[in-house]
Structure 1
């Protein structure tokens, strides 16, 4: 795979596809790879990067290195709603008049985020974490934010509303290109991958290239937590959704994957098998912990993470508990674990 990297951080992947590494402030991921796809109506972006002045400057310079500019952008395809992907969308649209497209399930998340007051979200988190067995000292700052209706020092940035949906399974209206949307829920309910059904420019064997967002990454596993909705009582199974989506992507047989983080890679099928095995091992480890009754918080404390639990900051602990709950949901759905009747906070045990 021959790739040409410019001094501005833009990479030419060949065949009218570039990427620009837009930084994420204070985040170990480092950056989001924003892809620039040439079409007969002008460049289309896949994601936009984090809403930050430095990120905007990098995106502008990167587009110039690709031989274009923000004002020329025809449209933006969003793999999902998270701010490191969707953050700069409003600014790109304001500068270019470009349309923004997103799967309807994630567009629904964006609408809720804009409509609900912050105290409602924080109240939901307080109730959810309390039910999961979080200690009072962890919940207290969230309760304070709920009561204040804001987080001190945090500027509220409402995500941009998309203009159009991304219909899964269909070829998208991009003149001169064959790009098909693949619905891959799990990381978010409306995550999509985008399959460029064109011969690889370096003639690598396989069926085109895949813009994989956060669904399929070369060296890390995406966060799979519960889908958050204060009004929706549906018992979802995000991990089950993710595993099913992985299987679907593995069957595409693509020549190369263009992910939103790290770097492009081949051998997608092998990476899919590793991720499936990783989650099965994680489920087995969780099941062993459930030999005795434990709350989701107690499980998260004992699960393996990339650092000791004592070193994990508060916000990341909330994310870890959500991931523990997603794995619990999967075990319950499979009939391998169950909630303990009458427990408060709710505890679970292996069946």
Structure 2
């Protein structure tokens, strides 16, 4: 699979000890970064000498000169050293960096064969379709390729297309002797917004949940994944639909304080958008009870049974289609902001909740408001 190829190549090089002196992990897909890191820990950094052979450094706190000096110096306690260097974007900030790149070039002309330097460039987002890559990210990528790329191998961590993510889930389940049904795999990927780290975690939980049954169905996904996330989510949308900003922020804080916190932001936004779309259907079809609800929401788009009455009640609090489509647009805007690698995903989520829970503005007579498409 295309998105997995760079990581598989790096892991193979680690296993075979056919390593370059330096690499750049470029991209913000944490799932692949963890796989590469795990391979390094398994094959290059034995647990008993890890304290003396694994270094986490950040160019926001340390200069590149300090990193290179440490890499040049052999360790008396460990046969091999690995340096994870974060804050790579500091090499491309304002001002001249000629001296820093000259020092990097000088090191890689004669690197320490018992040291590995990995620059982490997670400030760049690479979409599954590179043609849709943000212009600023393209510029950042090219600068790295034209500088660090002269001495280091670039390992891309791009987002995964939904069909590749589903294939991966099917294969991982099969490797563990579990049959993951096709529609369950699709629902699992859809419900988590294509977030591979979340997908891996939820799939692990599902395998444990089905136990000896050895089969994961759509119902299992809806029960274990959607229901678990939507219990708190429906508390959040309940506060939003009542325009209770204080309670909404309290519920959001509780959600972010559990599980993967801010790192699950994309999944939370996906679930919010999904819920508002369900409310839109409920509102347009004038659904009044749970029996009618199952008729208008198709399989894969249904709500957990416990939430049926809640979502109908919440949908009726919105007075018009305009309010619901506004909510969907706000969530979509927040999703774009979260995917741009912001300083604080929490701040984006908090601002979104404040906007969603605000009373809709009254349009004065004589003013026209454009009805934007959903």
Alignment TM-score, normalising by the size of structure 1: 0.30
Structure 1 or 2: larger strand share?
A: 1
Higher relative contact order, structure no. (Cα contacts within 8 Å, ≥ 6 residues apart): 2
Alignment TM-score, normalising by the size of structure 2: 0.29
Higher Cα Rg: structure 1 or 2?
Answer: 2
Structure 1 or 2: larger helix share?
A: 2
